[in-house]
Amino acid sequence: MIMKKTDLPQVANSIMNALHEDEVEIINELYKACEENDMVKIDQMMELLLYDIEEHFSTEEELMREGDFFAYPMHKAEHDSMRKEVNALRNSWRKNKRAEEISDFIKNRLIPWLLLHIARWDSTTALHLGD
């Protein structure tokens, strides 16, 4: 396990907290598959991570639009940037099949980004939206 749900900052919106917790489970499963070099599981978990990220970001974006959140364009831009990075990672995985590339991305990019994103953007968004 590379990350515990208790490592996540909690925000003032239960839907957003649940999205983050679901993502941690997927990240942990993918990381474990990389450590075990389980190619089939990595394939499955990469697709699940992409699906989950899209679901997570789209849900938050819908909440922001419905709540008329003032910083929606900037928050969405952060999402779009990570969408591109994870898609590029999947494409690289399909081509090169390097589990280490994925585990390095999770450890050095995705988790730090997620923690900072929650603290910087999601906490402000959640305060605006409420529960």
Location of structure tokens 């989950």: 52
Mean of pLDDT values over 30-34: 98
Mean of pLDDT values over 63-76: 97
Query: Of 56, 72, 73, nearest to 64 (Cα)?
Result: 72
Global model pTM greater than 0.85: yes
Residue 97 and residue 37: Cα distance in Å, rounded? 10
Mean of pLDDT values over 33-42: 98
